[in-house]
Amino acid sequence: MPTGTFQLYRWDEIALEKITEMVSRKFVTGDRLTLAQIYLKRGAVVPVHSHESEQMTYVLQGTLKLLVAGEEVTLREGEVLHIPSGAAHQVEAIDDTFVLDVFSPIRQDWLDRTDDYFKDADVRVGERTDRE
């Protein structure tokens, strides 16, 4: 028997959070996963980072170029990429891109506002960080 209560979310009622001039997001978090809508303008770069969460990225619109654990991957509309827990990765938007990301466990760093890898000038392509 379920022990918790259900929760209904409406994307249009969730405020869009501007991370940088080029990247915005909306997200909801349950007990064990985070679901996010990510908006990336053409040319946006998410610096190399890693996190405890396993990640599934589904491109709804646009194209991304990713560097995952040192391997380059192009992800297009309709494709899904699995990024294992702890894998260092970087993202570049080739087009204006809209993705749906699923993370498990939850992105506690987003809730705590400690996801500062966007501001870390020392992070370079191919380097691994241990931020969670």
Q: What is the CATH number of the domain that holds 82?
A: 2.60.120.10
Long-range contacts of 18-25 (CB under 8 A, 24+ apart): 19/118, 20/44, 20/118, 22/93, 23/118
13 domain residue, yes or no: no
Tens of pLDDT, residues 7-28: 999 999 999 999 999 999 999 9
126 domain residue, yes or no: no
74 domain residue, yes or no: yes
10 domain residue, yes or no: no
Give backbone dihedrals phi and psi of 65, rounded to 5 degrees, phi first. -110, 125
Tens of pLDDT, residues 50-101: 999 999 999 999 999 999 999 999 999 999 999 999 999 999 999 999 999 9
Order of strands, sheet of 80-83, starting from the edge strand that comes earlier in the sequence: 17-18, 23-29, 34-40, 97-104, 54-61, 80-83
Count of domains for the chain: 1
Residue 71 pairs in a beta bridge with 68
pLDDT at 131: 37
The structure's pTM equals 0.85
61 domain residue, yes or no: yes
50 domain residue, yes or no: yes
Range of the domain at 63: 18-118
130 domain residue, yes or no: no
Name, in order, each residue with C-beta under 8 angstroms of 6's C-beta and a sequence gap of 6 or more: none
1 domain residue, yes or no: no
